[in-house]
Amino acid sequence: MAKVVVGMSGGVDSSVAAILLQKQGYEVIGLFMRNWDSDINNDFLGNPNLNNNDICPQEQDYNDALKVCQKLNIPLHRVDFVKEYWDYVFTYFLDELKKGRTPNPDIMCNKYIKFDMFAKKALELGADYIATGHYARMVDGKLYRGIDSNKDQTYFLSQVSKKQLENVLFPVGDLNKSEVRKIAHEYDLITADKKDSTGICFIGERNFTKFLENYLPNTPGDIVDINTGKVLGKHIGLMYYTIGQRRGLNIGGTKERMFVAKKDLDNNILYVAIGDSNEYLMSVAAIVEDVNLLNELPLKCTAKFRYRQPDNDVSITKLDDGNLIVSYPQGVKAVTPGQACVFYNGDECLGGGIIKEVYKEKPIK
């Protein structure tokens, strides 16, 4: 009987993944990863929903995973990757913010923790396969979107290598979320109605600004109207803003809509545009670095520049340094350095890279 080690997160998706694998005849072992030390932030600094008597959310997740595994009569192991997560994911997150970019740490968590450190631990447990609750599919060794287009998570798997995806199973990738919850109810699992985790795992329900103050010094500066040069207010630090952001600007004296149009790191200025014009958010090309390909990349395909975004038709130019020029002459709004650019051929995910620079006109090679 083949042995599968399932990443049990304490959520409904991994719980149902374990059920499906059992029904398929695998010997299933659960493995819970502890990736963040919640006590590191002064008793959940900035979280109004917790008090000193509350259980840490991560411990609650472990308890839920344990109850699921006990119900399914499968063993649950626990492994601590706190140091590795700090070194490979959190440090990356902070370094990107210092550069004025908008990082996606969940992508790096998949690359360095879930499909590297976790996989190595699974091998120690005798795994023939590893499995997770991601909404994705492996078909003939290729990565495909999950059936549920609203939950598809291939965007977050775009930096995982082809080698890392060998012997990986995504049991819920062929299901819709509603079907997953239905199965969990049929088995009367404690996770059946548990809310999906949102946001960055190490911040959780905490106030993002207060959390970051522990690690990066605030450097307030001017908020300037990009059209008139008029100072409209003060920002609390460029790292807290991203291109296209409309909320949280806290600029009084105007009822007009405005959005972040540009960040000037050298002069510590946050430029905003007033109104609904997308002129400052539109671009037609980007340089993409740290490219990870899962299959051959055609000269024309589609790409996502953000997770919640439709596919965009793009053209690819390969550069000698391994980077790519990704062109989209139709124009795309708020393509942002630091975010992932993920390539698709229909439902197949071809891999992706990290957006380095964005252009109003296509750059010359």
| Average pLDDT score over residue span 226-254 | 87
At residue 227 the predicted structure's pLDDT band, cuts being 50, 70 and 90, is confident
**pLDDT of 48 above 70:** no
Contact 235, 220 (CB under 8 A): yes
Give the residue numbers marked as catalytic. Answer: 109, 201
Q: How many CB atoms lie within 10 A of CB 226?
A: 18
Q: Look up residue 31 and give its two tokens.
A: 């493995």
Q: How many residues appear in the chain?
A: 365
- Report pLDDT for 50: 45
Domains with residue ranges and CATH for the chain: 3-186 (3.40.50.620), 217-274 (2.30.30.280), 282-359 (2.40.30.10)
CA distance 191 to 71: 12
CA distance 148 to 179: 10
Give pLDDT tens digits for 161-201.
999 999 999 999 999 999 999 999 999 999 999 988 766 66
- Mean pLDDT is highest, among 94-98, 176-180, 356-360, for 176-180
**pLDDT of 253 above 70:** no
Please give the distance of CA 90 from its chain centroid, rounded to a whole number.
13
- Report pLDDT for 47: 46
- Give the DSSP letter string of 47-111: -TT--TTSPPHHHHHHHHHHHHHHHHT--EEEEE-HHHHIIIIIHHHHHHHHTT----HHHHHII
Which amino acid appears at position 46 of this protein? G
| Average pLDDT score over residue span 41-64 | 61
**pLDDT of 131 above 60:** yes
Nearest to 338, CA basis, from 257, 253, 238? 238
CA distance 231 to 149: 43
Contact 288, 353 (CB under 8 A): yes
Average pLDDT, the chain: 90
Q: In what order do the strands lie in the sheet with 3-7?
A: 76-80, 27-34, 3-7, 129-131, 168-169
